Chains A and B, each alone.
Chain A
Amino acid sequence: MRDPYEVLGVSRSATDDEIKNAYRTLARKYHPDKYTDNPLSDLAQEKMQEINEAYDAIVKERRGGAGGGAGQQGGYTGYTGHAGSGRFADVRRLLAANRYMDAETLLDGVPAAGRDAEWYYLKGMVLYRKGWLDDALNHVQRACQMDPYNQEYRMFLNRMNGARGYGSTGSDNGMCDCCCSLLAADCLCSMCCR
């Protein structure tokens, strides 16, 4: 394991507050909410885990080996698709494994008559991962029009719309913007505003 102080980018003589601040800044940078549905979300998760472990190790060391760490072990579990159920279970599995090109092949094989709201949502997800951000937005909008009460589609749409302004993901921007938009989406936000 790397030196925990190096991971947080602080010197060994840093005060507890400095360490806490460094940890918070990094936690904001790698926060899972920022990388939901992103093809790099697994890497962000790795980073988050690394800083959590480093912070825990430092806290433990400074308390003389007693007491558990205060690091965030948030309830984030990566891509939270409902794999294994529904018409497009195979597509969702491929997306969860980050094989979005294969998922696209499967989706494109669906005849025009069978393209329901879920199809548009999943196609939007594939396009987003490919970096085709405009077509992705169009598809998700379509999904929401076809099924206005679906939370999953609505949240994805809100995230995409939220990213269309200046500095929406800037790391010095704080988490609050992101939390607000999530609250607006009727989402429980207890795990990110600590």
Chain B
Amino acid sequence: MSTEKDFLLYIEGLGVSFDGFKAVDGFNFYLNTNTVHVIIGPNGAGKTTVLDLICGKTKATDGSVKFKGSEIRGLKEHEIVRAGIGRKFQNPSIYENLTVLENLEISHPKGRGVFGCLVFQRTPDVVERIQSVAKDIGLQDRLDTEAGVLSHGQKQWLEIGMLLMQNPELLMLDEPVAGMSVREREETAQLIRKISKERSVIVIEHDMEFVKEIADRVTVMHLGKILAEGSMEHVQHDPKVIEVYIGH
């Protein structure tokens, strides 16, 4: 019997209600290390809310979230980030006025306190780390470009790169391929496969082809609850899932 210590992320009975409306209810979720776990579900199923609850953007009303065995529910957002959880938003959320290099640099975990910010220096190891991340996200030639002029897909990658700079053990990506071309999707899938060798990734996605390509495990949500969980193969043939996706 596995215990909470064996999982990277161990969520039990997580729930939140907004004025009596239960957006997420009794959510149980167990995540192993080095896994890509995709959450799918129709609009309004509560997928994004789950990510918000984990990263502290929305405060949960019940349940527990344990990361590496310790409770993180109730911590402030930046404390959760510093514990090792990175979050990418649905719309690319980067600093448009800064260059790609500066965007990555600002995400470097060294010197995040007030004093640290004042004395932070661009040392060789910082530059090296920026270059290696930029290579992973395919922006190594665009380091001095202002981020605002990047294409939509490149902005999405840049945001993933900013998270990689923090070297989190858990990465949460909210619809990373929304608005991407077919080729960009393929590259993103490769990127996710690559980064999941060293960490776990939770992905919210609508695009089933993409999900099939990346997912180790899939959770289907509907109306704030878990409808089914298992391999893609398994959930695809689950009658409840078919009912939700086709029956409406």
Please indicate whether A and B come from the same complex rather than being unrelated chains: no
